[in-house]
Structure 1
């Protein structure tokens, strides 16, 4: 009888210890996995050389994703304005041709990155994050003028 009791305690003791153990702590900063899809955390900023090369291709649209006020203070030649902060941004993106290539820029590269990610989520396959306007304004403007 003692043997039976001893074996029972040995067999079930780990289960009772597990039931009393606290849940493991998982840091909130770890990325979550998405099964069945690859979700980029960012669209990297392309080099100026790559932006110039892309702008020389057919069916390329250059978009400034800053506010209309920022756009009015200066923008790259040939750039359209698509305000990232506009409440109807999603509806505006629906109006764009998904077969074209879009080159996006903003003040720092942050809004162009977010817009590029949003566009990719909506099915746009050819989106280039050109980064910051100040980094591009003297180096890309000449290339855009040659395109016309």
Structure 2
């Protein structure tokens, strides 16, 4: 599994890179703030949303601390997706939120 730090993800966004970020936290957690442009797919729903994802794209997975996103990354990798886990999750995020 590939990893990026929260700072590396923030730098990519600040450099204008278009990232496909999936936040696997629960809806009520995301309501308190998420990375701009991140799409919320709670961990329990990831397997039911596979048809909404594109195997050509690379996805960065985010949760509160990195544990749930790591589980989602393993699952998505096993289904042929190109994924990267953001280490430290939103606890390590210092960038903008919406």
Instruction: Tell me the TM-score normalized by structure 1.
Output: 0.55
- Structure whose alpha-carbon radius of gyration is higher: 1
Distance in 2 (CA, whole Å) between partners of 1:85 and 1:50 is 27
**Greater share of residues in helix:** 1
Distance in 1 (CA, whole Å) between partners of 2:11 and 2:80 is 23
**Greater share of residues in strand:** 2
Distance 1:53 1:93, change over 3 A: farther
* Corresponding residue SS for 2:42: coil
Are 1:116 and 2:73 matched, yes or no?
yes
- List gaps (5 residues or longer) in structure 1: 1-42, 143-148
Q: 1:130 aligns with which of 78, 86, 90?
A: 86
Distance in 2 (CA, whole Å) between partners of 1:65 and 1:45 is 16
Are 1:71 and 2:27 matched, yes or no?
no
Are 1:61 and 2:17 matched, yes or no?
no
Instruction: Tell me the TM-score normalized by structure 2.
Output: 0.80
Q: 1:101 aligns with which of 58, 70, 74?
A: 58
Are 1:82 and 2:41 matched, yes or no?
yes
Distance 1:63 1:53, change over 3 A: same
Q: How many residues align?
A: 94
Higher relative contact order (CA 8 A, sep 6+): 2
Q: 2:8 aligns with which of 37, 50, 62?
A: 50
